Structure 1
Amino acid sequence: MSIDQLAQESQDIIEEMVKLEDKLSDCIERFAKVNDQLQEKADEETKKETDQLAG
């Protein structure tokens, strides 16, 4: 490959990595939200069980 071709390939790879980074960032945010909701539900269930046992 020529220098120009290699430079273009390098630029294409960088652009693809940026897109993947954005997508990964979105996925991490979505996961954090769902994980927070899951923790809230688990806390609610634990409180219900504790209240029932306390009675």
Structure 2
Amino acid sequence: MGYIEDMRNLVGNHPLILIGSHAIILNEQDEILLQLRTDFNRWGIIWRRLRI
């Protein structure tokens, strides 16, 4: 199980405060660096969720 699922099991339906960020990284040819998401098997913009 992942972090969010673990937290959801602890707090039930109470609101969770989640913080995340996105980044667009370009190389010298203005190509965008993408991240392969293994959960959906799709390419996307780099992002992370912070654990508080």
What is the TM-score with the length of structure 1 in the denominator? Answer: 0.18
What is the TM-score with the length of structure 2 in the denominator? Answer: 0.19
Name the structure where strand makes up a greater proportion of residues.
Answer: 2
Look at both structures and tell me which one has the larger radius of gyration over its CA atoms: 1
